[in-house]
Amino acid sequence: MNLHAPDRILNFLGGSFREPISGMWMDNMNPATGDVYSQTPDSDAQDVDFAVGAAQAAFPKWSNTPAEERFRILNHIAELIENNLEALALAETNDNGKPLWLSKRVDIPRAASNFRFFATGILHSSTESHSMEGRAINYTLRQPIGVVGCISPWNLPLYLFTWKIAPALAAGNCVVAKPSEVTPMTAYLLSIICKEAGLPAGVLNILHGGGPKCGSAIVAHPGIKAISFTGSTRAGREIAAVAAPQFKKISLELGGKNPNLIFSDCDWDKMMRTTLQSSFSNQGQICLCGSRILVEESIYEKFKEEFVARASKLTVGDPLDENSRQGAVVSRLHFEKVMSMIAQAKQEGGKLLLGGEAVHPAGRCAGGLFIQPTIFEGLNEHCRTNMEEIFGPVVTLQSFRTEEEALMLANTSYYGLSATIWTQDVSRAHRMAAQVHSGIIWVNCWLLRDLRTPFGGFKNSGIGREGGWDALRFFTEPKNVCVEL
Ligand code: NAD
């Protein structure tokens, strides 16, 4: 296989590569250079209808394909992703702006793991039975739902796209999937891989297009029985409103505004290293990034001094350069949003400790969209900067005196995706973990992921959980069979 990024991305529908029916296209830009380097379909409801038809036609056979055969094909997809790591990583970096080393080490390997994890998972799955003491036996069948929709964002493009598609396919569903229009390239390359791996026509249909036209048509289509969505809370709310009257199953993985709670008894070096990562990895564009850093008052000044000094040394520049710690943010629209939120933080009285400006590298990336790592202090917990998701390389520092105050600050949020707690006191770690209102708590670590664990958020961070059996349960309907003895 020789995977390379084409000038024109095509939809993958019913096993064939197709142009959008309307003939409309969108520009695809490399955010590190500012250059438009390909065109992507601007698909609409007609393309969605075609995709649903292809998926419906494929469903009877795929849903009856033995688990061993589904395993074989999905595992083959994982192998082909691994075999094409270099090409996929380069495509991801050119689309997204993230450092190439990050695409190679994290994004693409994880996409392969997602397929392998769920492919092997279905070989080990079992269902419950409930015996009524000699009178009857109940057993639960878990059957695929039918045609399901998977919609993903731009921050971890292939990683999150496959995190949905793999369990949906493994469970025996046929899929209509849409990656973000901002980062469509690796999803297109995945469609070539799936064809090569022998995935039957129509089992996975990949559509390219924008949210309002293509994404919303997927959500509204009566032939699509469940929606797995990762993206903004705004879009999640719209999807919930459309899906609810049709009683579609929905799984919504939405925004975050995650707190880091740092106590004075933490392992200082590990905390400092990890907090830099949790603040600025992927230019702060990870839903799990800790953007509200809460520090115990007795170590606040020491923390501030060292954190600012270390963050000031993060090299921002060409994502293809091994030495760049930070690449470009994903798009001009997003660049402008982050810069406007930096301006807002200043208006709200925030004291800028570091950054706050665009970066203009020389050479190839002169037209790129780069932002300095940015740190503010002096903002209260209720201000917009501390309440709204920025999703860029911007963090705020706040101090606390007691556990109660730390909890109050941590839980003053519309969001509840993740939190990180730094303390060597085991009792305190458990106490805090139990009381922080977030679906994912890390103690003395960050982004340590076991794919078997439930993944998702409280409050405006979403509905439902992904990962492990939670994902396979979401993509199946339980059916109880009661047999009187
Ligand atoms: P977005 O909501 O703008 O778009 C996400 C996807 O939804 C895209 O494919 C888009 O085309 C589509 N879309 C947009 N509006 C739609 C609609 N009305 N109906 C159907 N589809 C629609 O989000 P984004 O800017 O691509 O991603 C950033 C957001 O994603 C952040 O809020 C971030 O926190 C969140 N996110 C959450 C998680 C998580 O696991 N909780 C992971 C990554 C990103």
Determine the distance separating the centroid of ligand 1 and the alpha carbon of 238, expressed in angstroms.
11
- The residue ranges of every structural domain in the chain are 11-254+461-484, 258-453
Determine the distance separating the centroid of ligand 1 and the alpha carbon of 212, expressed in angstroms.
12
Quick check: pTM over 0.95? yes
Cα 158 to Cα 103, 297, 407, 442, 462: the distances in Å are 10, 41, 35, 24, 21
Active site residue 253: yes
Q: Which of 180, 182, 466 to mutate to test the pocket of ligand 1 (most atoms within 8 A of CB)?
A: 180
pLDDT at 2: 87
Q: Which of 92, 181, 253, 466 is catalytic?
A: 253
DSSP for 400-417 reads ESSHHHHHHHHH-SSEES
Give the CATH superfamily of 258-453.
Aldehyde Dehydrogenase; Chain A, domain 2 (3.40.309.10)
3-state DSSP assignment of residue 110? helix
C-alpha–C-alpha distance, residues 281 and 119, integer Å: 29
Determine the distance separating the centroid of ligand 1 and the alpha carbon of 234, expressed in angstroms.
8
Right CATH number for 11-254+461-484 from 3.90.1150.10, 3.40.50.300, 3.30.70.560, 3.40.605.10? 3.40.605.10
Cβ(42) to ligand 1 under 6 A? no
The token pair that represents 427 in the structure block: 């009792």
pLDDT in tens, the chain (485 residues): 889 999 999 999 999 999 999 999 999 999 999 999 999 999 999 999 999 999 999 999 999 999 999 999 999 999 999 999 999 999 999 999 999 999 999 999 999 999 999 999 999 999 999 999 999 999 999 999 999 999 999 999 999 999 999 999 999 999 999 999 999 999 999 999 999 999 999 999 999 999 999 999 999 999 999 999 999 999 999 999 999 999 999 999 999 999 999 999 999 999 999 999 999 999 999 999 999 999 999 999 999 999 999 999 999 999 999 999 999 999 999 999 999 999 999 999 999 999 999 999 999 999 999 999 999 999 999 999 999 999 999 999 999 999 999 999 999 999 999 999 999 999 999 999 999 999 999 999 999 999 999 999 999 999 999 999 999 999 999 999 999 99
**Residue 248 burial (CB count, 10 A):** 21
Q: Is 184 exposed, middle or buried (0-12, 13-18, 19+ CB in 10 A)?
A: buried
pLDDT at 235: 98
* Atom number of ligand 1 nearest to Cα 154: 26
DSSP E strand stretches across 309-437: 351-354, 358-359, 370-371, 374-377, 394-400, 415-416, 418-422
* 216 contact partners, CB below 8 Å, separation of at least 6: 238, 239, 242
Phi, psi of 223 (to 5 degrees): -80, -10
pLDDT at 198: 98
pLDDT at 406: 98
Active site residue 289: no
